[in-house]
Amino acid sequence: DTGVSQDPRHKITKRGQNVTFRCDPISEHNRLYWYRQTLGQGPEFLTYFQNEAQLEKSRLLSDRFSAERPKGSFSTLEIQRTEQGDSAMYLCASSPVGAAEPQHFGDGTRLSIL
């Protein structure tokens, strides 16, 4: 069963450093999503791709955040000049194209900023 895979599972870094996370979606899924989740909260939407096109971005996605999906397969999320407030679980999800298809999530990358 090849679900959504995220790497790394944990990342600890110092404030001001850049970090990059990777997401490999379920292979037949065209849509890929990034969410952020902090303790005691539900996931918050960051951005969404259909194939290689980035179609939606949340205003939560400041200019320090950038996401790519270069060949419509895996995706990367980069955070530049990390801040304490960036500490969170970063979740990736994928879904097939279709009206209100369920999104399937990976187990996330937990980012801790020292």
Contact between 44 and other proteins per CB under 8 A: yes
Q: Closest distance between other proteins and the C-beta of residue 81, in Å?
A: 26
Contact between 31 and other proteins per CB under 8 A: yes
CA distance 40 to 92: 18
Provide the mask over 49-78, with x wherever binding to other proteins is found by CB under 8 A and - wherever it is not.
Answer: ------xx-x--------------------
* Choices 13-21, 44-52, 62-70, 72-80 (CB under 8 A): range interacting with other proteins: 44-52
Residue type, 2: T
